[in-house]
Structure 1
């Protein structure tokens, strides 16, 4: 499997890397954006905008609308701070926001755990097949559904 190496961030280091990536893209790192990012990063599996809105509402002691969260999540995806799991309409924080690559998700149908892997060879093949068909791919997302190692044991 062709892969590339990245520095995976976690906790405060992940928040700092995300903030740096967003500001480098010319966007502001606001209190609400930080709260949404922290909530997203706090989930151990893909989270919907409603899950995130509920977590932020609870943390801030006031209601936060899912529509506001959706707008911020769209910005995060565009800025490579988050990745969208299309089939679940859910999001995961990107543990290496400084590295731009195509998304390959392994999604467990039993527990919902989602693992993100990188395989440049596979992603490049998908891009090449699309281009050969006259299609200009923007961002391929590959999702593989099945059973994770924990659930098969």
Structure 2
């Protein structure tokens, strides 16, 4: 190992002391800057805690205002049709008249169809001798009265009828 003189050792020690001193000063300066930044941050945190943040809704409000005005204009333009209420009343009255006409037509056709069906049914029953005509009904009534008044003729008729079969 090399041997150093006292003066060389002193120079080395002084240079090292200066380096250490400069490092200590740098560290103190950095510590002071850090403390300042910390205080500034604490101040900003307190300021942010007390600050009320309100969103800027002006764009949204203007958008809705424009849309509302457009909708109102569109509705008003539809309502500005001349005599719109008159057209609505006339069309509803016309529909009412047409519906009554259709109902009357259907009712009259239904009653005609019913009468025609009943007439055809009655003719079919008369044809098959299921029911009697008015003339035959009156004749039967007269025969019944005559048989009730003369019981001997009733017996003769029953006997004659039995022989016919």
Task: Identify the TM-score tier after normalising by the shorter chain.
Answer: under 0.3
What's the TM-score, normalizing by structure 1? 0.16
Structure number with the higher strand fraction is 1
User: RCO greater where, 1 or 2, for CA within 8 Å and sep 6 or more?
Assistant: 1
- State which structure, 1 or 2, has the greater radius of gyration over its C-alpha atoms: 2
What's the TM-score, normalizing by structure 2? 0.15
